[in-house]
Amino acid sequence: MRRDHRPYWMHRLWENFENAWTAHFLEPHFDALGQKPKIVRPWHVEVFGPNIRAGDHIHLIASAADPIRFTVWSPQDQAGRIEIGDFVFMAGGTRILAAGQIEIGDNCLIAREATITDCDWHSLYDRVDPNPPCKPVKLGNNVWIGDGAFIGKGVTIGDHAVVGARSTVTKDVEPYAVVAGNPAKVIKRLDPDAPMRTRADLLGAGPDTDRFFENAYRNTMAGNSTWGWVRSKLFPKRGD
């Protein structure tokens, strides 16, 4: 399908349904979920364990094929936790797995199938150790994690850094560094004096931003009709 054939009323109805599902079924599983979460198909977001907190304007895009998972799995004498900042985006398949502590700063972008974990989950010699070693993981503000990247235990990634697709990060990454590979190495450094726009710049303007998105959807769906949507589903043709 080349475009969205839904009429605007149908888009709004679906969005309200997702928001209601989030508030009723998903939010209670978080210790805290901030203002205005935008969660696509929230029934495919899995939240397991205590001490999982997310800030304002989190944006999650989940699906049946690519669920998003937040997991805190730790012994009762060890309080594992996941802390997620404001304006964070996560694509489908993202996994955040904490035995101890994972912190994700504001404005971070986490692409599809990325994994962030603070533990190996098994010791090298004791494969049934119920309490394998873990080390805190921290992502600074405005970090971009590429498609399928792996962030391992004990790693700190500095502000504005970029991790390339399919990279394996086992050592700290400096602010403004671009790393890629397995193991990940620095391939470029961003200019810290260059202007940097973040998701907060787009989404942090309150009611003005809400009106912007509403008008954008109305314009995109202008001319769509209920019958046109039904026809595109039952009798699709080239160009739909």
CA end-to-end span of the chain, whole Å? 5
Q: Which two tokens stand for residue 4?
A: 């969205």
**Which element (helix H / strand E) includes 187?**
strand 185-189
Question: In this structure, how many other beta carbons lie within 10 angstroms of the beta carbon of residue 207?
Answer: 7
What is the crossing angle of helices 8-21 and 207-220, to 10°?
130
Catalytic annotation on 122? yes
In contact, 96 and 77? CB cutoff 8 Å: no
**Catalytic residue among 11, 24, 44, 122, which?**
122
Q: Residue 103 phi/psi, 5° resolution? A: -120, 130
Interatomic CA distance for residues 171 and 168, integer angstroms: 9
Question: Alpha carbon of 152 to those of 96, 109, 156, 170: distances in Å?
Answer: 11, 17, 10, 5
The residue type found at 83 is E
Residues carrying an active site annotation: 122
